Structure 1
């Protein structure tokens, strides 16, 4: 009887020892990201990835603009480099993107610098301040293109009076650009037959004669306008130098720009203005997460096929953001000496 009791006790103690060893190993493995603790580099990798989110949504714009293809490329980079499930979403662009970030329905967003500034201050189309956004950095000039065709007969901004003109999708920053450009030419939105169409809808409307012209604020070349140029003689309406000067003086976030010769089949460059495109991010993303996302994007621009990638310069990304830079992005710029 004693022998049986001793044997049973031995078995119980052995089982308990195995259980405790298994638990200890599991906790040890868990603390090291499922890897053996003997490797210092593995411990470092686990520490670096601890603050990375599992998923990020990148808010872009319409499929015919520049935000959407760039957003898709950035999402692929983030996924490939960091293992984050990243997705680019088509949206109404800048203003809508800011309100979506405020609502917590996205993490990263493309926006115009002027619109981000208005959002932070609660001005223009924003009735309340959006205080949970910070900047990753500026990317490239967003050219204001007043698009029409040769057959429309429109040659100047003043010629838009009485015409059916799209000023962009509801929630985009293009509408405000259109209003301000019309303003310095002595016109208002009431002087045109205003249409609120996306870039794709705008160029389709021009092609089938439903509208006469459209404001398009996007990096050039813009996909929707390129599509139009395949079947129509595209005209980009110029802005006269004195009006450019007046616009920049009144609204300092504008810069002088042009639509280059050859784009859309243009035979000469067309003077206009631009704002800057930028990436904004919710301030709830950790410093480490934004640092790694910023680093991944700017150090893999060679993987982006869109023409705008060639002019994105991380050394200039802090310039003209209009809102404060996220500490994670600032860490990257400090590290690079920008």
Structure 2
């Protein structure tokens, strides 16, 4: 009797499995198919976005963290994070190689990369497109009041830090000196120092002046100002215009009175900090991230946040705009000047 019950139960169980496979299992299979693969954008898979920034002590890194938070809070299905890097030149090459999705870069460096010039000679990058410009990266020629250096022409024969060869700062120094009929190789004693080492050198007297390209106020220059009377070299209006005419990615800028203890504003020039994207990213993804960033700049706690606006985001871009960013700015009624 027990044997018969056992085989009856087993037979009924087998029959139930067969019926499930032939009938109701189709719905289960369809549901499983939807959650595992689904349509593009509906798969439930997370899109990871790595934002390449700069050094931890700079401006790019904290802004990148703020942008990552904004994207994570406003774009469904995306997980963004900010990564510290060597900044502009390294970021362009990393994007080219697929080692990131978004990146901070100076507009002049992006142009050099797109054109295969200077530090990108023989290494043209054609798969990076603009998302939008952010704020000015001011070219500051830093010295002290005691140096006697008042103009760019006064740098002739002096020991001057121009940044590392291949860096954005070095390219800026080269451009500015050339407009003033000076050469890095022939007319100054060039030193290739980082910002902190440059200001330390000015403080201890081993160098006379330094080119520093950075948003103001710059921490390294503030540190120098705490121990010495800082002077920022002024640009003549005619030279500013000549620089803009020769190199389209420069714009006139001014360092405000009181910055570094300055007694009056100082006219200079700037390039722009810009956000760029790998051109392989979808139009929808870049549209959504662009919209999230430029419509939530009030959530950026860094002082540069107030300078980041949709209205100015196409100023000085210099390279092709990503279709997703273009879609957003077209809808917002923003066009390049």
TM-score normalized by the length of structure 2: 0.85
Task: Determine if the alignment matches structure 1 residue 222 to structure 2 residue 218.
Answer: yes
Question: Structure 1 residues 8, 333: closer, same or farther in 2, change over 3 A?
Answer: same
Secondary structure, in 3 states, of the residue corresponding to 2:47? Answer: coil
Residue 115 (structure 1) aligned with residue 109 (structure 2): yes
Q: Does 1:14 align with 2:7?
A: no
Query: How far is 1:146 from its partner?
Result: 0.7
Select between 276-285 and 81-90 the one with higher mean Cα deviation.
81-90
Compared CA separation, residues 29 and 294, structure 1 to 2 (3 A): farther
Unaligned runs of 5+ in 1: 35-42
CA drift of 1:239 comes to: 1.0
Q: 1:197 to 1:25 in 2, by over 3 A?
A: farther
Shift in Å, 1:21 = 6.0
Aligned residue among 47, 50, 53 for 1:60: 53
Aligned to 1:37: none
User: 2:205: which partner in 1?
Assistant: 209
- Name whichever of 253-262 and 194-203 sits farther off: 194-203
Structure 2 spans left out of the alignment, 5+ residues: none
CA RMSD of aligned residues (A): 2.9
Q: CA deviation at 1:238?
A: 0.6
1:75 to 65, 68, 82: 68
Q: 1:221 to 1:268 in 2, by over 3 A?
A: same
- CA drift of 1:295 comes to 1.9
In structure 2, do the counterparts of structure 1 residues 97 and 47 end up closer, same or farther at CA, with 3 Å as the change threshold? Answer: closer
CA distance in 2, matches of 1:201, 1:310: 30
> What is the CA-CA distance between 1:135 and the residue it aligns to?
0.6
Contact 1:257 1:271 in 2 (8 A): yes
User: What SS does structure 2 have at the residue aligned with 1:245?
Assistant: helix
